[in-house]
Amino acid sequence: MKTAFDFLVLPSEVTDFERGYLARVNRVALVFFALHVPAFMLIAWVNGTGPALAGLLTLAVLAGPALAHRTDTNPRFVSVVFGVTAMFMGGVLVHIGQGPAQIEMHFYFFALIAMCAVFGNPLVIVAAALTVAVHHLLVWLVLPRSVFNYEAAWWVVAVHAAFVVLESFAACFISRSFFDNVIRLERIVRARTQQLDAKNRDMRLLLDNVRQGFLTIDREGRIAQERSAAVDAWFGAPAVSASWFEYLATLSPSFAEYTEVCWAEVVQSEMPLEVTLEQMPARLGWRGAHYRFEYRPIGASEPHEQYLVIVTDVTTDVERERGEVERREAMALFEHVLVDRTGLESFFEEATHAMQLLESGSAEPDAVRRVVHTLKGNAALFGLVSVAECCHRLEDAMADRADPLPPQAFAELKARWSKLTGEIAKLLGARADMLEMEPREYALLEAAARAGEPPPALLRRIRRLKLESTAKRLRYFQEQARGIAGRLGKGDVRVDVEDNGVRLDHARWAGFWSCFGHAVRNAVDHGIELVADRHAHGKSTAGAVVLRSYEESERVVIEIEDDGRGIDWGRVAERAAEAGLPHHTRAELERALFSDGVTTAAEVTDISGRGVGMGALLVATEQLGGELSIQSTWQKGTTLRFAFPLGAMGTKSLRPSAAE
C-alpha cells in the first residue's frame, strides 16, 4: 500500500522525457516570473506603494530561481524553487497592492498553487504551501495590515490557511496524477514495450520453429515488415518496396497474376468475404516443395484493412497423398491385369501412342484436345486418377486459347506417364501366347462340331477365337456407366450388355474403344435424368442403358441405347450457330453434335462438357470405314449406332482359303 511519503516523493529515476519536459516548463516559469518585475512596479505605482521598492523586491525574489535554473542539474529541485518563488511573489504582491483591492490579491496564492501542478511534483505544492503559511504568520505578527487591508483577527488568518491547505491537497493529487499518467508515460511505455518485446520474442521463437510462415498484407497488397523467419527461409526476403504480388512473381509469374486477379475480388467484390477468400489460389510448387496459402482478415470491423497470410509447407502431406494415389492406381492396374489383360494392353498401347503424339508437338490444337480428352476418360476408366487429373488441368489450360500449349505444359503428364509405363510393363510382362474363351463360346463351338457344321464355317469359328470378344469391352463400359451414375447421383442405372458373340481385332479397334467411352459418359451424364426428373415424367426410377454388338447384313454394329431425356435439337442448333456451323437440317445438326466445341452441357465437369469427346469418337469411327447414325426421341431416349463393314472386324485373314 502506498504511504503518504511514497505519494509525495517521486521515484528517484528521472527519465529523459521528464528531464526534457521540466527543462521546458522551468524556462517558461523563469520568463513568467521575470515579467512580474514591470507588472509589480506598475501595481505599486497605481497604489502609491513605491514602484522602485516593488522592483527591487521582485528582482530579489527572482534571483533565487534564476540562479537555480542556471546552476542546478536536477530539474526537480529547480521546480521546487519555483514553487517557493511563486509564494514569495504573492507576498510581494499583497504588500504592494494595499488598498481596497488588497484582499483580492490573495487569489494570486491560490492560482499559483494550482498552477504549480504543471510541474508534476507534489513537493513543489508542499514547498509553496509551507512558504505561504510561514509568510502569512510572520508578516501578520509584525505588520498585520501588510497581509490584509485591516488588522485581521487570528481566526481570519486560520481560515485563510485552511483554504490553502485544502487547495494544496487537491493540487498534490493532481500533480501526482499528472506525473504518473503523463510525465511518467515514457517509463510506462518502455516497461510495456519490454513486456511486448519479451512476448514477441517468445512468439517469434514459436513461429520460427513451426512449419508455417506468417505475414500480413493490407488491401493494396503491401507487405508489413514483420513476418516469421520461415517465409524468408523458403522464398527469400522480399524487396523493401515489393508488393505481395511482385514478391510472388519471383516464385511463379502465373501464380502471382492469378492471385492478384482474385485479390481484386476480395477487396472490391460484393460477394461474401468468406467466398472470395476461399477462391484465392491455395497451392504452389516451388523448388521441389509444396506450399498452401490461406488468407484471413484481421479485426472485426469491415472493410478489413489488414489480412494475415498463412503459408504452410505441405510437402510431406502432398507426398503422402501422392503415395496413396500411386498405391491405389497400382492396385487398380493389378486388378485389370487379372480381369482383362487384353483390355489393359490395348489401353497401354493407345495411351502410349497418344503420349507420343503430344510429345511430338506436331498435332493441331483440335487434335490435341481430342487426344487429351480421350486419354482423360480412359485413364479414369482404368483407375489412373493422377493421369485423368493432369489431363483435366491441360483441358482447362487449352480452353481459352487457340494457339498450342508450350511443351513444358505437358511436363507433369509426361512425368507421371513415364513412371506408370514402367509399372504397367512390369505387370504385363511378356504376353503369353494363349487364347481366351468363355464357357458359352466353348459350348457353341462344341455344339457346332457335333451338329456337323461344314469345315470351312467351323474353321472360321475357331480362327475367330484369336480375336478379342466384345463382351469384355462392353462389360468394362458397363462398370464405367454404373460408376458415373453413382457419382452424378442418378441412382442405380441398369446397364445391360448384349455382345452376341462378336469378336474384333483388338489392335485395329483399340482407337475406337478408347473413344467409345465418350459415348458412355454422355449417355449417363446428358441422357439419363436424375431420379426426381424421371419420376416427374412418369418413367421408372432406375434409368436403363444397353451396350450392344452384333452382325447384320455384312456389317458389324456397335450400339449404345439409353432411355433418358433424348437430344434437345433446339439446344444443339443454338450451340452450332454460336460455333458458326450449319444447323438447318437434321443431317447438319447430327454433324454439328460431333463437332469440336459443341456441347449441350451447362458446365464443364471432370466427366463431360468440353465438346471434344464426341468429335474424337466420330474420327475413330470413320477411320475404320464406319458410319454413325442417331435415333433420338425427346423424353424417350437416344440410340447411337456405329455400323462397320465386316472387313473392319479383322477377320479377312482368318477366312478359309479355297484350298481349305
Residues 20 and 157 occupy one common structural domain: yes
Residues 554 and 479 occupy one common structural domain: yes
Residues 167 and 39 occupy one common structural domain: yes
Per-residue 3-state assignment (H helix, E strand, C coil) for 582-651: CCCCHHHHHHHHCCCCCCCCCCCCCCCCCCCHHHHHHHHHHHCCCEEEEEEECCCEEEEEEEEEHHHHCC
Reported as a pLDDT band with limits 50, 70 and 90, residue 655 is very low
Residues 395 and 347 occupy one common structural domain: yes
Residues 129 and 164 occupy one common structural domain: yes
Reported as a pLDDT band with limits 50, 70 and 90, residue 38 is very high
pLDDT at 71: 86
Per-residue 3-state assignment (H helix, E strand, C coil) for 260-277: HHHHHHHHHCCCCHHHHH
Residue 621 cell numbers, joined: 469411327
Question: pTM to 2 decimals?
Answer: 0.48
Residues 420 and 493 occupy one common structural domain: no
Residues 365 and 256 occupy one common structural domain: no
Mean per-residue pLDDT, 359-377: 81
> 230 in a domain, yes or no?
yes
Write the CATH number for 636: 3.30.565.10
Domain that holds residue 381: 326-428
> 660 in a domain, yes or no?
no
Least confident range of 80-84, 90-94, 161-165: 161-165
> 447 in a domain, yes or no?
no
Reported as a pLDDT band with limits 50, 70 and 90, residue 366 is confident
pLDDT at 205: 58
Is the separation of the CB atoms in 333 and 423 below 8 Å? Answer: yes
Write the CATH number for 220: 3.30.450.20
Residues 161 and 243 occupy one common structural domain: no
Overall domain count for the chain? 4
Residues 238 and 151 occupy one common structural domain: no
> 659 in a domain, yes or no?
no
Q: Which of 313, 338, 360 is the last residue of a domain?
A: 313
> 658 in a domain, yes or no?
no
Residues 530 and 596 occupy one common structural domain: yes
Mean per-residue pLDDT, 400-412: 79
Residues 47 and 122 occupy one common structural domain: yes
Residue 550 cell numbers, joined: 452384333
Task: Give the model confidence (pLDDT) of 562-583 as tens digits.
Answer: 999 998 888 888 888 888 888 8
Task: Give the model confidence (pLDDT) of 579-633 as tens digits.
Answer: 888 888 888 888 888 877 666 554 544 445 445 678 888 888 999 999 999 999 9
Q: Which of 428, 451, 483 is the last residue of a domain?
A: 428
Task: Give the model confidence (pLDDT) of 486-499 as tens digits.
Answer: 888 888 899 999 99
> 441 in a domain, yes or no?
no
Q: Which of 252, 282, 313 is the last residue of a domain?
A: 313
In the DSSP assignment, the letter for residue 225 is E
Residues 112 and 167 occupy one common structural domain: yes
In the DSSP assignment, the letter for residue 222 is B
Percent of the chain whose predicted confidence (pLDDT) is above 90: 16
Write the CATH number for 331: 1.20.120
Least confident range of 2-6, 51-55, 293-297: 2-6
> 655 in a domain, yes or no?
no
> 39 in a domain, yes or no?
yes
